[in-house]
Amino acid sequence: MMWSIPNILTVLRLLAAPGVAFMFLYFNRPWADWFALVLFVLAAVTDWFDGYLARLWKQESRFGAMLDPIADKAMVVIALMVIVGYSSMSPWLVLPVTFILFREVFVSGLREYLGSTAGSLKVTGLAKWKTTAQMFAIAVLFSQGVFEHYFGISVFGMDDDLVRDILAGEAEDEHGLWWKYMGWIWSGRIGLGLLWVAAILTLITGLDYFRKAMPHLRDER
């Protein structure tokens, strides 16, 4: 049962987490962005499939139940670390990432302290929406890197005034600058918006988990 297909998918997702960072060590951009995006999306898809197949084939196991949330957190934490590392360190990006990472560390520590009791605490449906928002936000933000670098390659050596004229529609756009620029801008805006949604849901679910854990944290008298 340990090496059932659902558990193998979970293990592969766990191994894919550091693979996202390795893409930027061994490949130049925008190929690194492309490979990280594809790897992350494939890993996110397995997050749905492994649980679905485990329930469908009645192959749920303690090993899978233990490893699944670890793989999810590893994927999110490492991907966010890479995105922040290759960003302009905008506070509008760093702040939601900080909220998400703080919550993951806090809840993980709380679960470790509670031990077996942690399994009895019910997780709200918002937790699934939180994970979904995180996955979509990260995928869109990786795509921003793809658009950004294709735009940068296209404008390399061009006069700044010519680039402005092309984007304003006053000069012929022979290299598709407009759609690359719009893809860069809107993927950043949409990705950042989804990341803030994920951060808000992260804080709400974290507070809810802490509230449910409080009875188990009080000293006996």
Number of domains in the chain: 2
> Same structural domain for residues 82 and 93?
no
| Banded pLDDT at 143 (limits 50, 70, 90) | very high
| Tens digits of residue pLDDT in 146-197 | 898 888 888 888 888 888 888 888 888 888 888 899 999 999 999 999 999 9
Under a CB-based contact definition with an 8 Å cutoff, are residues 120 and 21 in contact? no
> Same structural domain for residues 36 and 136?
no
Tokens representing 108? Answer: 């993980």
| Tens digits of residue pLDDT in 82-138 | 999 888 778 899 999 999 999 888 888 888 787 767 666 666 778 888 888 999 999
Distance CA 144, CA 157 (A): 22
- Domain boundary at 86, 114, 144, which? 86
Helix axes 62-85, 5-26, angle to 10 degrees: 20
81 vs 128, residue with greater confidence: 81
> Same structural domain for residues 107 and 72?
no
Distance CA 173, CA 81 (A): 36
- Domain boundary at 56, 86, 116, which? 86
> Same structural domain for residues 113 and 186?
yes
| Tens digits of residue pLDDT in 5-58 | 778 888 888 888 899 899 988 888 888 889 999 999 998 888 777 776 777 777
| Residue 33 DSSP code | H
> Same structural domain for residues 94 and 105?
yes
> Same structural domain for residues 183 and 220?
yes
| Banded pLDDT at 2 (limits 50, 70, 90) | low
Under a CB-based contact definition with an 8 Å cutoff, are residues 140 and 190 in contact? yes
What is the reported pTM? 0.84
- Domain boundary at 70, 86, 102, which? 86
> Same structural domain for residues 126 and 40?
no
> Same structural domain for residues 72 and 121?
no
> Same structural domain for residues 21 and 33?
yes
> Sign of torsion, CA 87 91 94 100?
negative
> Same structural domain for residues 67 and 94?
no
> Same structural domain for residues 14 and 99?
no
Backbone torsion region of residue 124, taken as left when φ is above 0, otherwise alpha when ψ lies between -120 and 50, otherwise beta: beta
Query: 50: domain range?
Result: 1-86
> Same structural domain for residues 78 and 106?
no
CA dihedral 20, 24, 29, 33 (to 10 degrees): 10
Distance CA 15, CA 31 (A): 20
Under a CB-based contact definition with an 8 Å cutoff, are residues 209 and 121 in contact? yes
